[in-house]
Structure formats: structure tokens, C-alpha cells
Structure 1
Amino acid sequence: GLNVLRIINEPTAAAIAYGLDKKVEGERNVLIFDLGGGTFDVSLLTIEEGIFEVKSTAGDTHLGGEDFDNRLVNHFVNEFKRKHKKDLSTNVRALRRLRTACERAKRTLSSSAQTSIEIDSLFEGIDFYTSITRARFEELCQDLFRSTIQPVDRVLTDAKIDKSLVHEIVL
């Protein structure tokens, strides 16, 4: 029952959501960096007088937030093994509970330097209490972070725009 006026692409929707259509006069180059749950997309838009033009797009369909979650899960499975001499990786319920805690920890580390994970009776009645710093998380995921640079470079090259000419970055 809705009347569709137009369909817009995701990078344009992100730019509008951040109010970039309302910013200063003149042409603005905007880089949209979208690291989703399962995919990574980066786009370069030009906005001028309310008109959005996608100059270039790149990404990695096999990189997303889940990859960062998996690094944390593997890290803590190994820590649990070291501390308790037990392998929880075969227990679906324990892994699911650990993954949920890791997703929460990842989000917390975006705004805090450290976070803790506390899961009562995680595996065979053993409580799992631990912590991780943002620095350690970055170390565990260093190659994943680095793999986002090449698509960003490709977008800038394809759009023929130097990084110094990017006015806004939307993460």
C-alpha cells in the first residue's frame, strides 16, 4: 500500500541519513565505509546542490563483522583451553553464548579501551571471566583491518580523486 517515489542505492541512503545533503554549498566528496555483518562496501559519492552521484564502488563480499567476531571467539576458545584444559569448541550452546558475548565486547571496544566477558557456567559448569583490551583486539584482527585499505584505494583511484579531496567519511 506504499507509493514508491524512487529507489536509491545504499551509499546515497547512508549519506542522506547523516544529513550530508544539507551541508555547505559547493561540491562535496564523501567516502562511505560500510563494514556490515557479512560484507564490506566502500563508495565515493559527489554531492552538489542536493544531487548525489556515485563515482565508484568497491568492497569485499567475504569480509564483515562476523570475521571480527570469529577472531574473538577463537581467541577465547584458546584461552579457555589454556586455563581449564577443556575444549568448548564442540559444544554448540557454549559457542553460541561465547559468540554473543564476543559481539557485545566488539561493540564495547569501539568506545572503550577495555571490556570484560563474564559467562556463568559456560562449559561443564566452569564460569568464564576474562577481559580484552582494544589494542589486543586490533592485534588479533590486524590483517582484517588492513584488508579494507585496498578497496578504499581502488575507489579513490577509480574515481580519480586524491584522498586529500575527500570532505567527509561516513563509517
Structure 2
Amino acid sequence: RIINEPTAAALAYGLDEQDKDEKILVYDLGGGTFDVSILELGDGVFQVLSTNGDTHLGGDDFDQRVIDWLVEGFKKENGVDLSKDKMALQRLKDAAEKAKKDLSGVTESEISLP
């Protein structure tokens, strides 16, 4: 049997083992999309009431905003435009993604510019 991602997420968190009926919101912030679903739980059964998403919002978009911010700040401070340097951009992309992941568990993350 195939189930959708929100139901799989709810099962992974053990929400099917709760004794009470409730409605929950499950979100999936992927690399390229942001999806939200509302599920109803009752008697160990899930029903998806509504689902929607934005295909123009995801982790890659957050990474790009951080990269743009870093490039702009570096240019202001040093007069060097890193947006023309492919190797520097790749290092910034890696650093931005690492910082994003770090910020899932801490309140601050440091990025060293190339």
C-alpha cells in the first residue's frame, strides 16, 4: 500500500498510537518545495483533509538568500564581487547549506567567507 508523505511523517512520529481524535498540521520543507497538509486522526486512522504547496519555496531558496546576503556583505566590506567566482560561489553554497542545517539545532552558526 502506498501512503502520501504527510501520512508517512505522522506515522514516523507515532501519532497513530495516540488515543485521542485530533487534527494535525504536517509540513514538508524540501529542497525545492514547501508542502503543508492537514490530517485528521481517529481510531488509528489518518485522513488527509487538505494539502497544498509552493513549488517556488524550499531549502534551496533559503540557501540562495543566504548566499546573496554573504556576497553582498563581502562586496561592501572588501570591494570584491564573489558572484563572478564559481569556486567561491560553490564554497558559499556549501557553507550556507551547512549553516542552515546547523540552525535546526542551535541559535547561531558561523560562516567563514572564502
Alignment deviations for residues 124-160 of structure 1 (CA, whole Å, 9 cap, x no partner)? xxxxxxxxxxxxxxxxxxxxxxxxxxxxxxxxxxxxx
Paired residues in the alignment total 114
Which consecutive residues of structure 1, in runs of 5 or more, have no partner in the other structure? Answer: 1-5, 123-171
1:115 counterpart SS class: coil
- TM-score between the two structures when normalised by the length of structure 2: 0.93
1:89 has 2:80 as partner: no
Percent of matched pairs sharing the same residue: 53
The residue aligned with 1:19 is 14
Higher gyration radius (CA): 1
Deviation at 1:72, TM superposition (A): 0.5
Which of 58, 63, 67 pairs up with 1:69? 63
Q: Which amino acid aligns with 2:73?
A: E
Moved beyond 6 Å, runs of 4+: none
Which of 82, 105, 109 pairs up with 1:115? 109
**2-side partners of 1:10 and 1:108: how far apart?**
24
- Measured on the aligned residues, the alpha-carbon RMSD in Å equals 1.2
Higher relative contact order (CA 8 A, sep 6+): 1
- TM-score between the two structures when normalised by the length of structure 1: 0.63
Which consecutive residues of structure 2, in runs of 5 or more, have no partner in the other structure? Answer: none
Which of 1, 4, 8 pairs up with 1:9? 4
Deviation at 1:60, TM superposition (A): 0.6
